[in-house]
Homo-oligomer: A and B are copies of this chain.
Amino acid sequence: MRAPEGFLLGGIKREGIGVGLIFSERRCAVAGTFTENTLRAAPVEHSEEVCDRGVARGVIVNSGHANAMTGEEGYQDVLRTAEAIAELMGAPEDEIVVCSTGVIGERPPVDKIVRYAREVWEDIGPTERHVREFSRAIMTTDTEEKIALYEGDGWSLLGIAKGAGMIHPNMSTMLAFLLTDVGAKPKELQMWLRDVVNDTFNMITVDGDESTNDSVVLLANGSSNLKVGSDVTITEFQRALEEVCTELAEKIVRDGEGATKLMIVCVHGASNEVEARRAARAIASSNLVKAALFGENPNWGRIGAAVGAARVDVDPDELRIAFRSSEGEIVTYEGGPVDFDEEKAKRVLSASEVEIVVDLGVGDASARAWGCDLTYEYVRINAEYRT
């Protein structure tokens, strides 16, 4: 594994404070999607402006302090950070993306962060070690690194994410950085990124728990001398984006605090895509479904109730609900309750990755959502964690 051509990375973490840097030897086209939380953090405001202009040279991420709900002073902290990093990278400060993750309401220790950044800068590079150092520097409650790589013919797309899902947003904002050495226009990148984020990262985020800092940033520096639309087909690039983001999304959910199982909800037969997405998210975010999964309990009634509560069009006579895993498949409802083999159901649900497959029976639209089980450990972590 190696960073795409022309990207250098690095990071350090010390005493709960982490600093990660991404630098591109050439100016990049940049796109981003950011949290819609109305109390979003100061760095999000700044980074969205950078993405709106479409040009970036580098990224600084600090972990430990979210810099959310910190007012005007917090925004000044972002500008000071961007200025210092811009000087380091020899670029204007409005080309520096700034991301923070950590405790809400705490201002970042800018001087210390800049000092750490200078140290990282001394040893920045493109190798696997550098990529992993960046990855580890931005982690908070994560227990595993989340890295995904797509290798094209003469180009690549590298994704690095952090976040333990929708599960603990104020310490584990979801951040994802996507680096590619193809060339592309910022407006196109933005369009492709938005589509893919809607189908991946946004399908693991539950409304009520959206963080103040969630950010996904895509940088394309063109260092491979290949362009999307001519040398690389748009279809291939979109597929690469989708693959990398799907892999990162699954890794985030799997690392959900206290989670023991990955739940993949596949909704088919919806009357339109909006309803398919709503139904899939409703199932994946239902505490009752999540607790039943933890108990390895094929409770299809709760899935039905979640679908109905999502207010989507559904034909009870055509509705189908099934569970699927490496251990096989059981159908529990098919136009009516189905007598199923309890022993087999137990086996299917005992797998560490369980698919819930629901056909609403009214149309052709489908959607997928990712979730995890609700466990004692989740309650323990979140009851004990102190702001």
Q: Does A181 belong to the interface (CB within 8 Å)?
A: no
- The residues in A between 17 and 50 inclusive whose CB is less than 8 angstroms from any CB of B are 36-40
Chain B nearest Cβ from A382, distance in angstroms:
4
Q: How far apart sit A104 and B306, CA to CA, in the bound complex (Å)?
A: 12
Chain B nearest Cβ from A371, distance in angstroms:
12
Could you tell me if A282 and B208 are in contact, using CB atoms closer than 8 angstroms? yes
Q: How far apart sit A316 and B212, CA to CA, in the bound complex (Å)?
A: 13
Q: How far apart sit A364 and B365, CA to CA, in the bound complex (Å)?
A: 42
Could you tell me if B383 and A211 are in contact, using CB atoms closer than 8 angstroms? no
User: Per-position contact with B for A275-313: 1 when CB-CB < 8 Å, else 0?
Assistant: 000000010011110011011011111101111111111
Specify which chain B residues have a CB less than 8 angstroms from the CB of A336 in the assembled complex: 69-71
User: Per-position contact with B for A302-335: 1 when CB-CB < 8 Å, else 0?
Assistant: 1011111111111011010000000000000101
Q: How far apart sit A2 and B183, CA to CA, in the bound complex (Å)?
A: 79
Q: How far apart sit A209 and B310, CA to CA, in the bound complex (Å)?
A: 9
Specify which chain B residues have a CB less than 8 angstroms from the CB of A168 in the assembled complex: 288
The residue in chain B whose Cβ has the minimal distance to the Cβ of A306 is B208
User: Per-position contact with B for A369-387: 1 when CB-CB < 8 Å, else 0?
Assistant: 0000011101110111111
Q: How far apart sit A212 and B307, CA to CA, in the bound complex (Å)?
A: 10
Could you tell me if B304 and A386 are in contact, using CB atoms closer than 8 angstroms? no
Residue with the highest number of chain B CB atoms closer than 10 Å, among A70, A300, A304, A307: A304
Q: Does A58 belong to the interface (CB within 8 Å)?
A: no
Q: Does A337 belong to the interface (CB within 8 Å)?
A: yes
Could you tell me if A309 and B210 are in contact, using CB atoms closer than 8 angstroms? yes
Contact of A379 among B40, B170, B299, B379 (CB under 8 A): B379
The residue in chain B whose Cβ has the minimal distance to the Cβ of A337 is B105
Contact of A291 among B68, B106, B382 (CB under 8 A): B382
Interface residues on A, range: 35 or more
The residue in chain B whose Cβ has the minimal distance to the Cβ of A213 is B305
Residues A387 and B305 in contact in the complex (CB < 8 Å), given A36-B311, A39-B316:
no
Q: How far apart sit A376 and B69, CA to CA, in the bound complex (Å)?
A: 31
Could you tell me if A305 and B37 are in contact, using CB atoms closer than 8 angstroms? yes
Q: Does A207 belong to the interface (CB within 8 Å)?
A: yes
Specify which chain B residues have a CB less than 8 angstroms from the CB of A299 in the assembled complex: 170, 385-387
Q: How far apart sit A170 and B335, CA to CA, in the bound complex (Å)?
A: 19
Q: Does A169 belong to the interface (CB within 8 Å)?
A: yes
Specify which chain B residues have a CB less than 8 angstroms from the CB of A301 in the assembled complex: 66, 68-69, 103-105, 170, 387
Specify which chain B residues have a CB less than 8 angstroms from the CB of A103 in the assembled complex: 301
Specify which chain B residues have a CB less than 8 angstroms from the CB of A307 in the assembled complex: 38-39
Chain B nearest Cβ from A303, distance in angstroms:
10
Specify which chain B residues have a CB less than 8 angstroms from the CB of A337 in the assembled complex: 69, 105-106
Q: How far apart sit A295 and B380, CA to CA, in the bound complex (Å)?
A: 8
Q: How far apart sit A310 and B207, CA to CA, in the bound complex (Å)?
A: 8
Specify which chain B residues have a CB less than 8 angstroms from the CB of A295 in the assembled complex: 382-385
